Amino acid sequence: MAITGHFIDESWTLRSIIMRFIYVPASHTADVIGEELYESLVDWNLDEKISTVTLDNCTTNDEDGLEPLKNTIENIRESVAYWTATPKRIEKFEETAKFIKVHMKTKINLDCKTRWNSTFNMLNIALSYKVVFIRASRVDKQYTCLPSEEEWNFAAEVVERLHMFNDITELFSGTQYVTANIYFMKIYEIRVKIRQWSTCGNPLLQAMSANMIAKFDKCWSDIQGLMGIATVLDPRLKTLSLLMCFEWLLGMTGQVCEDKVALVMDLLRDLMIEYHVEVVEVEETTAAPSTSNLEFLSSFSVRVASTRPESMMYKSELERYIEDGLVPLDTKGFNVLDWWKVAGSRYPTLRRIAKDIYAIPITTVASEAAFSTSGRVLSDHCSSLTPQMIEALMCSQDWFRNKYGVDDKDKNAASFWSCLQDMSPRYSRRSSGT
């Protein structure tokens, strides 16, 4: 199991760190995985500092959104399977391409049926080598699953429609920039396209659309609150953009959409109360000269915060932010973290919230990348490493990369190594090699 920490440091730089890369014994139930995660957070003294957890919910991968297309694209899938079955067939396919002067920039690959993007990639690549498959069917009589012209045309239509999905997926998978603020704008694009497909007149595409709508509605609704806040905290978007996204997502206008926005704003106000109390507590306890007074002052701060009029606590700050003019959407080189680093100082409570919200990744791509790296560490030629040694190699590589990744021009920029100071002595000894 890979545990990756995402945070925004004091210089307002987005960082992702591999915290643990651990062997988890079977069975891999939610309780077992949850316990391993909790113990790791305790080791790092982070169990009370976590904002959100992004998980790869494997149970959602057992559904094939393209299942209705199975029979129509099966010959293409079988063709790819045939020509990638052995090294000799791969070589023969490449020789056929070379013979008819088709340059193979990308090798054909069989898809994973429960991952739509792998099916998209398989179809997209296969379509570019359509003439090679046709030629190969003439030189190899054992190859009997050549797709018909109708099947090729249908595959081209599917690829055209899924191209937007693929582009948005790649955008969401970025790790060097904030993704939470673009979630709503892109998710509504997806929903609108699916809605269009449901009335396109093609029974297969309409069936595919129905499957995708069911999975879409199941997955997206749970996180719209936090992602809505991320939209509001983007000074180019704020509440108007959020309202428009809800209108497109729900296919309606009026009170229902306005109520959705109101729920997001209520959640933001709740967060402002919590974050404001944290600031008061720190200020009050820092000024307290006596340890015996800490508990009283802390309780007093909480009581004051709970009885303070709404306008005094946060309303003026939130209203000022909402009423301030929008940053033009087409501002060249705009970076939302840079904006909050400089201009956001006018809104101290919102600024603290933005620092946590914008550290949230939409996808688990960082953890997936860790497993790709582990495949090079634990190769066929080096397969006897213990789980502890694998973790040491994986983490040390990532930690050193982050240590030297700080911009030398910013001497005040905090690197990942400042986080190690909060670790327990047991884990600190482990990181120092003792």
Cα–Cα nearest to 361, from 261, 246, 268, 223:
223
Extract the tokens encoding 367. Answer: 């953890």
Q: Decide: helix, strand or coil at residue 313.
A: helix
Cα–Cα nearest to 249, from 217, 225, 222, 218:
217
What pLDDT digit, counting tens, does each position of 326-375 carry?
Answer: 999 888 889 999 999 999 888 999 999 999 999 998 887 655 666 666 55
Q: Is-contact 272 318, C-beta < 8 A?
A: yes
Q: What is the pLDDT of residue 217?
A: 74
Question: Kind and range of the H or E element at 4?
Answer: strand 2-8
Q: Is-contact 135 99, C-beta < 8 A?
A: yes
With left for phi above 0 and alpha for psi between -120 and 50, is residue 20 left, alpha or beta? beta
Cα 327 to Cα 347: distance, rounded to the nearest angstrom: 16
Cα 105 to Cα 94: distance, rounded to the nearest angstrom: 11
Query: What is the residue-level pLDDT of the chain in tens, covering all 434 positions?
Result: 889 889 999 899 998 888 898 888 888 888 898 999 999 999 989 988 888 888 876 554 446 556 767 788 899 999 999 999 999 999 999 999 999 999 999 999 998 877 778 889 999 999 999 999 999 999 999 999 999 999 999 999 889 888 888 888 888 888 788 999 988 888 888 888 888 888 888 888 888 788 877 777 777 666 678 889 999 999 999 999 999 888 888 878 889 999 999 999 999 999 999 887 554 444 444 444 444 454 555 555 555 555 555 544 445 789 999 999 899 988 888 999 999 999 988 899 999 999 999 999 888 765 566 666 655 566 655 567 788 888 888 888 888 777 644 454 444 444 455 555 544 444 444 444 43
Q: What is the pLDDT of residue 127?
A: 96
Q: Decide: helix, strand or coil at residue 151.
A: helix
Q: Is-contact 363 223, C-beta < 8 A?
A: no
Cα 17 to Cα 71: distance, rounded to the nearest angstrom: 43
Q: What is the pLDDT of residue 428?
A: 44
Angle at 114 between CA 111 and CA 118, to 5 degrees: 35
Extract the tokens encoding 159. Answer: 């690829």
Q: Decide: helix, strand or coil at residue 357.
A: helix
Q: Is-contact 395 18, C-beta < 8 A?
A: yes
Cα–Cα nearest to 391, from 36, 7, 6:
36
Name the DSSP class of 63. -
Q: Is-contact 358 52, C-beta < 8 A?
A: no
